[in-house]
Every structure is written in C-alpha cells, then in structure tokens.
Structure 1
Amino acid sequence: MNIAVIFAGGTGQRMNTRSKPKQFLDVHGKPVLIYTLEVFSNHPMIDKIILVCLDSYITYCKKIIKKWDVSKVEKIITGGKSGQESIFKGLKSAYEYCPEDSIVLIHDGVRPLIDEATISKDIMSVKKYGSAITISSAVETVIIKNKNDEVGTILNRSDCEIAKAPQCFYLRDIYNAHLKALDENNVNFIDSASLMHHYGYKLSTVEGPAENIKITTPSDFYIFRAIIDAKENLQIIGL
C-alpha cells in the first residue's frame, strides 16, 4: 500500500496574508492545497491520502475536498504544535490501519508542482533502496558563513542538492524513528530526512522537477501562478 501524508498545518506567517493560510489561497478559483492533493489522488499508485490540517480549518478542508472530488483522502486529522509533531500524528494515523510495510510519502500541502513521474520514481526507490528523498540541483553558489557573518566555506555547487518533498520511507521505519525521537526528546528536526539521517538510515535521492517549489513567501505564490498560467496557455495552443 502507498500512502501520502500531506501536511497542511502552516499558518502562513511569512506569506503575510490576512485572510487565510497560504495553503488555502486560490489560484484560478482553486486552493493551492487542492492542486497538491489532486496530483496524489490522480496517481494510479497512490492508494490513500491522510491530510494533516489546522484544527480551525478541518471543516473547510472537508468542504473543498468534496467540492473538488479528491476521492483518495481517507482521513483529515488535526496537526500538532510543530511540523515534526504534525507529521508524527499523520504517521500514527496511518500506522493504526495500514500495514507497516506500506510506503509513506510525506509531502507539503504547499508544494503543488510535484509531478506524477517523480512520485512514481520515489515509490520505486523505496522498494529498491528503502527510502527516497526528492531533490533538485543547487543552481547558485552555496556558502557556509562563519561566526562573524563572513564567507567561510564555499561549497562545490556540483556536489550540492536541495532536499525537497516527497520524502518517502517504509511506514514502520519512519514511525519507529519518530518514536525514538520522542523517547529521547529530540523534537527539533527540520524535516523527515534530517530525522532519519540522525538515526542512521541510508537515504537515497530522487531527482525531481526544478519547479517543485514550496510556497512560503508572496514571490513563491506569484511564481506558482505564473507557471500555472504558462501551462494553461500551452494547452490552449496545443503544445
């Protein structure tokens, strides 16, 4: 079984929106979150989706999921106080009713430009290697600054990759790693890849599309909208 755990619990503070969090902003009348959910729901290899959401938006999520007929959403659960806690709650929900050898794909609700081919490659990577961290190549120089805010180490760009999502594992592995983190009070991992790396799991990478951006700031939102517009225009002219 292949399960997508979609995290849509952010409050959008860096987006500076006054009306609603970024995952619920509309592009051509459709919320960003729905664009994301549709990619996974339409994928033939995805069996179920668990959506982790802000408690105050659960009713709204149910409404838009019904409106847009996202049929594979199995559960909508309340997130936690942090990203790590929210992901664990999603994994715990999956663990309660899915086989432990299921493949789980952890994805941000505000990464709507993930594509079907990458999801397929992620699933196959977990089957072959036990994990899949979606990445894209670094396109600018990466530096490590020193304590004086000066340039310290300049990394070789050809050796650098940007970790994105989905981040994919066997359910038993990622769930047990989260349990270990809770037992040791390690609650500050920035993402699942960091947590799994800390506990000694080997992480295989899968190259994803460069446009697989996380919508965090207003400029990200405008880039997403521009890409959607460009794709629609290409469809109109038959390309």
Structure 2
Amino acid sequence: MNIAVVFAGGTGKRMNTRSKPKQFLEMHGKPVLVYTLEIFQNHPMIDKIILVCFEPWIEYAKSLLKKYFIDKVCYVILGGDSGQESIFNGIKVAHEEFPDESTVLIHDGVRPLIDEDTITACIQTVEQYGNAITVAPAIETIFLKDPGTNQVGTIFNRAYCEMAKAPQCFKLSDIYQTHCKAIREGQDDFIDSAQLMQYYGFSLYTVEGPSENIKITTPSDFYIFRAIMDAKESLQILGL
C-alpha cells in the first residue's frame, strides 16, 4: 500500500498574506493545496492520502476535499507545534491504520508541481532500496559561510551537490520507529525527514525530480508557480 502524508501546516508568514495561509491561496480559482492533492489523487499507485492541517483551517480543508472530489484523503488530522511533530502525527495515524510494509510519501502541501513520473520513480525506489529522497541538481554555487567573520568558507563543486525536495519516501515501519526513537531521545530539531533518517543510520537514495518542483513559500515563488501554470495552459491550447 502506498500512502501520501501531505503536510499543510504553516501560516504563511514569509508570504506576507493576512487573509489565508499560503497553501490555501488560489491560482486560477483553485487553492494551491488542491493542485498538490490532485496529483496524488490521480496517481494510480497512490492508495490513500493523510492530510495534516493546523486547527483553524481543518474544516475549510475538509470542504475543499468535497468540492474537488478528492476522495483518497482518508484522514484530516491536526498538526503539531513543529514540522517534525506534524509529520509524525500523520505517520502515527498511518501506522495505526495500515500495514507496516506500506510505503509512505511525505510531501509539502505547497509543492503543487510534483509530477506523476517522479512519484512512480519514488515508489519503485522505495521498493528496491527502502527509501527515496526527491532531489534537484544545484544550479548555483554553494558554500559554507564563516559565522564568525562573515567570510566565504568552503566552496563546493556544484556538480556533486543536489537540493533535497519532496516527496521524501520510506517504509512505514522504518519512518515510524525512527520518529519514536527521536521522541524518546528528545531529538526534535531535524530540518526534514531525510536528515532524521540519516542521523539514525539510514543510507538514503535519490530520485531526481522536475526542476519546477518548487516549494511555494514567498510571493516570488507564487509568481513562478503562476508563470509555469500559464505556460502549461498555453501549450495545451496550442495542442503541444
């Protein structure tokens, strides 16, 4: 069984919006979150979706599921005080309801440009290696900044650098047990699931995703999303 855990938390502080969180902002009359959920809804290998949302917007999220006929979402659950806690809340429900050998795909609700082929490749990679981290090549020079002097530190060869994206995918038993271990040890500041799993000794395997698989966090990200959607719409009109 393949289960998508979609995290729709956050209040959009960097988006500078006071009306709605970023995941509920609309593009062409449809919320960003719905674009994301529809990719998993329409994927033939995805069996169920667990949506993690923060409390004031849970009922609104449920109304969107009905409006857009997203019936693979089996649970809409409350997020936690951090991203790590929110993801665990979703994984915990999956652990309670589905077999341990299931594959869990952890994805941001504000990454609406993931595609079917990448999701398929992630599932196949988990079946072969036990996990799959979606990545994209680094296209800028990356270096470590010296915090003491504000000088440029080690400069990395970007040919060997990749950026971690989502979905990040694991066997349910592995990701659940590792989260439980982190909770017991008070380790609660991991930046994402990949760092959590690597910290506890897992070798991680990559799947290269589309370059446009951006996370919509700032106004400029939203404008990029709109430009990509407009371009795709134009190509459809032209029959390309």
Q: Which consecutive residues of structure 1, in runs of 5 or more, have no partner in the other structure?
A: none
Q: Is 2:205 the counterpart of 1:165?
A: no
Q: Tell me the equivalent position of 1:184.
A: 185
Structure 1 length-normalised TM = 0.99
* Per-residue Cα deviation, 1:150-170 (whole angstroms, up to 9, x for no partner): 101000010100000000000
Q: Tell me the equivalent position of 2:137.
A: 137
Aligned residues: 239
Per the alignment, in what secondary structure is the counterpart of residue 230 of structure 1?
A: helix
* Per-residue Cα deviation, 1:21-74 (whole angstroms, up to 9, x for no partner): 000000000000000000001000000000000111010001111101112111
Alpha-carbon distance in 2 for matches of 1:219, 1:148 = 30
Equivalences for 1:55-204 in 2 at 5 Å? 55-146=55-146, 147-204=148-205
Q: Tell me the equivalent position of 1:205.
A: 206
* Per-residue Cα deviation, 1:71-126 (whole angstroms, up to 9, x for no partner): 21110000000000000000001011100100000000000000000000000000
Q: CA deviation at 1:140?
A: 0.6
- Regions of 4+ moved over 6 Å: none
Structure 2 length-normalised TM = 0.99
Alpha-carbon distance in 1 for matches of 2:237, 2:71 = 28
Per the alignment, in what secondary structure is the counterpart of residue 49 of structure 1?
A: strand
Alpha-carbon distance in 1 for matches of 2:216, 2:183 = 29
Give the residue type in structure 2 aligned to 1:235.
Answer: Q
Give the residue type in structure 1 aligned to 2:116.
Answer: E
Q: Which consecutive residues of structure 2, in runs of 5 or more, have no partner in the other structure?
A: none
Q: Is 2:41 the counterpart of 1:21?
A: no
Q: Tell me the equivalent position of 1:48.
A: 48
Per the alignment, in what secondary structure is the counterpart of residue 50 of structure 1?
A: strand
